[in-house]
Amino acid sequence: MSAVLPPAPGREPQPHPLRYLALFALLSMSMGVAVGVTKIATALHALSLGAGPAQLGLISSGGMVGMLVMALPIGFMVDHVGARRLFVIGSVLAGAVFALQSQAQSPWFLLGTGSVVGFLMPLRFVSLNSEFFAQIRALGTGKASWSRAAHMSGMFLIGPALGALLAHRLGFATTWVLVALSYGLTALLALRVMGGPTRRPAAPRAPSPRGRARAVARELVQLLRDPALRRVNLVDFISQGATLYTTTFIVVLALHDFALDAAQASGLVTAWGAAFIGMLFCGGLLVAPLGERRSLWLGMAVVVAGLLMLGTARGTGGLWAGVLLQGLGAGLMQVVNINRIAQVGARLGQGRVSGLNLLVGPLGGLLGGSLGGWMGQRWGLQPVFFAFVPGYLLLALLQRTTE
């Protein structure tokens, strides 16, 4: 590993790899904390304004539409405009919306502001991922997933507790102002962490809007034809589907079928998150001696074991073992996939690849949650865990036949 990160053409030299990693992890964790605070504060605020279950569902998913619509276009923009500029723009605009949200007087106001923020979030997340993927080779495989682990720690472990504390002690108006300020602070930190845009040769003539649309369409077709990109996206699609179903419905299953109280049921989700985050931090120690392909197979085998245990559990011990195994396996798969996404992005463009990945993963989550919920309503929640096993068997087969 070199003493400093090698700058790409047109980019400022980055600091020492470990210092850069620490700064980037701080930026990523700050973003995760903001997301965690927002999720719990939004739910509590909506309830205080008299929101019912249907409105809560709309508010919680309202931002997903913007994420899905904007992820791919922002990915193309990153490769032309630069990650830092788009990140700062997205942070400032989203912060302004959260400041406005402090004046919310009805659940519908929260739905509107949350939907607007959903369109702005890809400016931050696609830019963040693109920047980090561009530096993974210099950081090394073992540390590549640390940024994702820092983000998940903020989102699942720190943010929700902090959000509940702020809302209770300071009130919702002050909480949203603090969230808005945090977005401004991450914008300032990004100016220190992120590099400037890569210089590109000037085009002899600016294409017409129709010409630009055709060029983007051609680039998208090229992306979709790349087999390595299809494989990494399929991993995220299936993994996020199973993850969302587990983390959403394990609480309902524990409450209704296993007679656990609310604290014990929510502890299952915390256990899943802790196992997942722990593996993100430590998984590189396994990947180094095993190699990426064997590590991915091992991760899939552990996830399948967890799903089978959840599907057959007759006591709380089975539930705890199942969520821990699934979290560990999913974390190991993510360590491998983060490195593979970076490798594909180095060939095809980090922004494009990050944008497409940010689109495909949430689509898998939406399908896993909605279809899994429909199946659970018809046949019971526990048997649905078996429905995700064929997806992992398909992934294992593809790894065997294509590598």
**What are the backbone angles phi and psi of residue 377, rounded to the nearest 5°?**
-70, -30
- Please report where in the chains the tokens 């790894």 appear, as a residue: 399
* Mean pLDDT within 199-217: 53
Mean pLDDT of all residues belonging to the chain: 83
Residue scoring higher pLDDT (328 or 254): 328
- Could you give the CA distance from residue 206 to residue 190 in angstroms, rounded to a whole number? 30
* Mean pLDDT within 275-296: 90
Residue scoring higher pLDDT (168 or 147): 168
Residue scoring higher pLDDT (399 or 173): 173
Residue scoring higher pLDDT (148 or 92): 92
Domain locations along the chain: 17-197, 225-402
Class of domain 225-402: mainly alpha
Distances (CA, A) of 366 to 35, 212, 239: 18, 31, 12
Among 3-7, 130-134, 219-223, 389-393, the least confident range: 3-7
pLDDT at 174 over 90: yes
Q: How confident is the model at residue 144 (pLDDT cuts 50, 70, 90)?
A: low
Q: How confident is the model at residue 131 (pLDDT cuts 50, 70, 90)?
A: confident
Largest CA distance in the chain: 69
Residue scoring higher pLDDT (401 or 299): 299
Which pLDDT belongs to residue 333? 95
- Could you give the CA distance from residue 134 to residue 126 in angstroms, rounded to a whole number? 12
Topology agreement, domain 17-197 and domain 225-402:
yes
pTM: 0.76
**Tens digit of pLDDT for each residue in 333-352?**
999 998 888 888 888 887 88
Q: How confident is the model at residue 102 (pLDDT cuts 50, 70, 90)?
A: very high
In the three-class reduction of DSSP (H, G, I as helix; E, B as strand; rest coil), residue 356 is classed as: helix
Q: How confident is the model at residue 197 (pLDDT cuts 50, 70, 90)?
A: low
Q: How confident is the model at residue 103 (pLDDT cuts 50, 70, 90)?
A: very high
Contacts of 349 by beta carbon, 8 Å cutoff, 6+ apart: 75, 79
Which pLDDT belongs to residue 208? 55
Q: In the CATH hierarchy, which fold is given to the domain comprising 17-197?
A: Growth Hormone; Chain: A; (1.20.1250)
* Mean pLDDT within 55-78: 80
* Mean pLDDT within 54-80: 80
pLDDT at 298 over 70: yes
* Residue 14 DSSP code: P
Contact 85, 358 (CB under 8 A): no
Q: How confident is the model at residue 397 (pLDDT cuts 50, 70, 90)?
A: confident
* Mean pLDDT within 157-169: 86
Among 12-21, 231-240, 338-347, the least confident range: 12-21
pLDDT at 2 over 80: no
- Could you give the CA distance from residue 398 to residue 227 in angstroms, rounded to a whole number? 11
pLDDT at 202 over 50: no
Amino acid identity, position 36: G
